[in-house]
Amino acid sequence: MRCYNLAKNPFIFYEKIDDKYGLFLLVNSLHGNIDIVSKSVIDALSREYYCGDYLYVLRGKGYLIDKYLLYDSLEGLNFKYYLNLLSNRPYMALVPTHDCNSRCIYCFQSLIRTGRLEFKYITKNNVTKAFEAAIKLFERYHPNAKENPRLILFGGEPLINLNVREIVDYILKLAKEYGVEPYDIVTNGVFLPEYADLIIRYEVKSIQVTIDGPQKIHNSRRPSLIETNPFGKIVTGISMLLKSGTDINIYVRTNVDKRNIKYLVDLAKFYMDKGWSNDKRFKPYLSPTQPYGCTHIAQYTLTDSEFLLRILELFRKHEEIKIFSIDSIMLYRHIKDALIKGNFDRALSYCGATNSTYVFDLYGKIYLCMDAIGREQFVIGYYTPNLVVDYNTIKRWHKPVLDKEKCARCSFALICRGNCNFHSILLGHDIDNPPCPNVKRLLKVSVNHFAENIINLVKEKVEVLKLYEHST
């Protein structure tokens, strides 16, 4: 029997599915393969020399690889990343104000608020300057983009009151003139009814609002300075947009922690009673509350794995809650999609901040991350009076995960994607030496949730299971 001195692909990982069938989920994140295999295959991957029937399948699917081909694969992946960077659709996030008319109990921007009620807004001149600067950055970093750039309105609260309506109108009008698609408005929704007509007129593609629970719970977690029942205003605004007949997508986020998780079933029932859950444009999703910027809430927050574990338990007990997406947990989404598509999604950058997004605030400052607004250490340039940018910082943020020394040979590199640069810096880490998330724990929770589905796939002997079939 001929044996080969091949290298085990460093970007593979596996997780046990169950004891009864002795199955494992095996993932090759470098080549995008995902398979269900027996323990004998896992054992075969631990050998120094590889022989027998397993060899051809393992080598063919990239679980075993010639060393020189591994280098070529990594170089090819990086080359493709930089090539795609040139053609990525760019995003312009514009911040009309740092101020907000809400006082959410977990606000990550609380450090940048002055406490004043005389809000400050962006000027029309700075709006024009921001668009001019954005176009220049798009031309430099994404010259081959085939699709029009997109505009996101962020804050603070971009729809803070009616005084800023004229500016919002001007922003959306100018976007059309510059060929920038009015794509998304991230708002607390308190003034959503008053801005619904502008949103419809300028064909904004989506809005994102937050509802943290039934009326009483939401209003206690996200109180307004000017509205006694912010929950009611949001509900009115959503209803107006859904009834408008437009194609706008309405993403409704719920920030989940230990204090409001028990109200999710009631919130789901509310959405169903309103008839919203039957509308494809209505897209509710859950995300764990993050403690950065507000350390006093850390005792109430859930880690990603804790969040996933508790939400999946609710999924098993309450059918209603399945209307919520939990795709905000990246690894869970990868596993779910892989079981549907038969291949594992891979990426070399964490989010838009690391490959396509540029943020412009009212003071003429430029950032790469929307969460970083108002934090001086994250300013990468200025757009007024002239465009001045730290191009070295942009280059570092645009670096693919495989170019980060710590991540270069980590089996989870193409899953965690180098972690969040913003979080890394806040925690005192260099972005080339990021803290490692607990991917192994998330993987275990996700696979356990899908175990029954995976076993059913084995019984059906679908295409993705060829490796398992070959090994038995």
Rounded to whole angstroms, the Cα distance separating 359 from 235 reads: 29
pLDDT at 106: 84
Peptide bond before residue 237 is cis, with ω within 30 degrees of 0: no
Smallest CA-to-CA distance from 454 within 1, 6, 20, 8 is with: 20
**Cα(379)–Cα(452) distance, rounded to whole angstroms?**
48
The token pair that represents 12 in the structure block? 């593979």
**pLDDT digits 0-9 by tens, 50-81:** 666 667 778 888 888 877 777 788 888 888 88
pLDDT of residue 50: 60
Task: Say what the pLDDT of residue 459 is.
Answer: 61
pLDDT at 241: 97
Could you write out the DSSP letters of every residue in 286-345?
EEEPP-TT-GGGGGG---HHHHHHHHHHHHHH-GGGGGSB-TTSHHHHHHHHHHHHSB--
Residues facing residue 358 across a β-bridge: 92
Under 8 Å CB-to-CB from 220, ≥6 apart: which residues? none
Output the pLDDT for position 471: 41
What's the pLDDT score for residue 469? 41
Type and span of the H or E element at 85: helix 67-87
pLDDT of residue 347: 81
User: What are the tokens at 177?
Assistant: 């003139």
pTM of the full structure: 0.91
User: Which residues contact residue 71 at a Cβ distance below 8 angstroms, ignoring those fewer than 6 apart?
Assistant: none
Amino acid letter at 81? Answer: Y
CA distances from 192 to 156, 235, 337 (A): 15, 9, 33
DSSP string, 342-393: SB----SSSSGGGTTEEEE-TTSEEES-GGGTT-GGG--EE-SSS-EE-HHH
Q: Which residues of the chain have pLDDT under 50?
A: 1, 461-472
Q: Strand runs (DSSP E) across 270-397, as ranges?
A: 282-288, 357-360, 365-367, 381-382, 388-389
Query: At residue 349, what is the residue type?
Result: S
pLDDT of res. 112: 58
Q: Are 134 and 360 in contact (CB under 8 A)?
A: yes
The pLDDT tens digits for 307-352 are 999 999 999 999 999 999 999 888 788 888 877 777 777 788 889 9
If we measure between CA atoms, which residue out of 416, 415, 418 comes closest to residue 434?
A: 418
